[in-house]
C-alpha cells in the first residue's frame, strides 16, 4: 500500500491509516464508529487447525491496522488518538500519512462480494534469507529478507525502515522473490510506512 503525506487544508475526504493496540482492531473499529467515523477493516478468511481438524477463522488482513475515512474540514483527527483500542495514527515525521482512495477501493474490490472477506492464495515457499519484495498491503514496494513462516498463512520478513532492521508479520501471499541471492539485505526502494 502506498501512502503519501498531505497537510489538512480544504474540505475533502481522505483515508488515514490507524495503528491499533495488539488484538484490538474490533475494539478500535467499534469505538471509532461510535464517534461517527467511517472505518474500513479488511478481514481475512483463513484456515486454522483446531483439535486435529481444519476450521475457518476470520482475522485481520493487516494485523493492527484500520483505514479511517475523514471528511477534512468537518471532522478532526484529534479524538482518534485517544480512542479505546487505538495506538496511533500512522504518520511520516510530523505529517499524517494519507492513503490513496484507489488503495482502499482495490482492497474492497479484491474481497469476496458476498462476505466482504479476503482469501489468500496458497503461500509461496521461501528459504530463510531469501530476498523478497512485498507487493500488497501496508508495506507494498518494500524489499526485505524472509525469516520464517508464522502460521495462518503469514510469514515474518525483516524490513529496513527508517534505517533500522524491523521484523514484520505479513500475509505470505503478498511476497515475491527478489532473487536467489541471499548475500545481502535489500534496501526499500521507497519508504511506505512509519508510525509515531
Render the burial of 10-23: b for 16+ CB within 10 Å, e for the rest. eeeebbbbbbbeee
The answer to whether the CB of 61 falls within 8 A of the CB of 44 is yes
Query: H/E element holding 108?
Result: helix 101-110
Domain positions in the chain? 4-119, 120-196
Per-residue pLDDT reduced to its tens digit, 44-86: 887 666 676 767 778 888 899 999 999 887 888 899 999 999 9
Per-residue pLDDT reduced to its tens digit, 71-80: 887 888 899 9
Judge: domain 120-196, CATH 2.60.120.200.
no
Which triple of cell numbers denotes residue 3? 501512502
In Å, how far from its chain's centre is CA 76?
23
Query: Model-level pTM?
Result: 0.57
User: Which of 20-24, 78-82, 191-195 is predicted with the least confidence, judged by mean pLDDT?
Assistant: 191-195
Q: Classify domain 4-119 at the CATH superfamily level.
A: NusG, N-terminal domain (3.30.70.940)
Among residues 93, 90, 71, 72, the alpha carbon closest in space to that of 81 is found at 90
Per-residue pLDDT reduced to its tens digit, 135-187: 777 777 788 888 888 766 778 888 876 667 778 888 877 778 775 333 333 33
The beta strands (E) that lie in the chain are given as: 4-5, 12-20, 38-40, 43-50, 53-60, 65-72, 86-89, 91-92, 95-99, 117-119, 131-134, 143-149, 154-161, 164-171, 175-177
Per-residue pLDDT reduced to its tens digit, 85-101: 999 999 888 888 888 99
Amino acid at each position: 500500500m502506498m501512502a503519501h503525506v498531505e497537510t489538512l487544508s480544504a474540505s475533502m475526504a481522505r483515508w488515514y491509516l490507524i495503528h491499533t493496540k495488539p488484538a484490538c482492531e474490533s475494539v478500535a473499529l467499534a469505538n471509532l464508529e461510535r464517534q461517527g467515523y467511517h472505518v474500513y477493516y479488511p478481514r481475512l478468511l483463513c484456515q486454522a487447525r483446531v483439535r486435529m481438524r481444519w476450521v475457518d477463522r476470520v482475522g485481520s488482513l493487516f494485523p493492527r491496522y484500520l483505514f479511517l475515512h475523514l471528511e477534512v474540514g468537518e471532522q478532526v483527527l484529534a479524538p482518534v488518538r485517544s480512542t479505546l483500542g487505538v495506538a496511533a495514527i500512522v504518520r511520516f515525521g510530523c505529517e499524517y500519512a494519507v492513503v490513496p482512495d484507489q488503495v482502499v477501493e482495490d482492497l474492497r474490490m479484491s474481497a469476496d462480494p458476498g462476505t466482504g472477506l479476503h482469501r489468500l492464495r496458497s503461500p509461496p515457499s521461501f528459504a530463510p534469507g531469501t530476498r523478497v519484495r512485498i507487493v500488497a498491503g501496508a508495506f507494498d514496494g518494500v524489499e526485505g529478507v524472509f525469516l520464517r513462516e508464522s502460521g495462518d498463512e503469514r510469514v515474518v520478513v525483516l524490513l529496513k525502515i527508517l534505517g533500522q532492521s524491523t521484523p514484520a508479520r505479513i500475509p505470505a501471499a503478498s511476497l515475491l522473490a527478489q532473487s536467489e541471492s541471499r548475500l545481502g539485505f535489500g534496501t526499500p526502494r521507497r519508504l511506505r510506512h512509519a508510525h509515531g
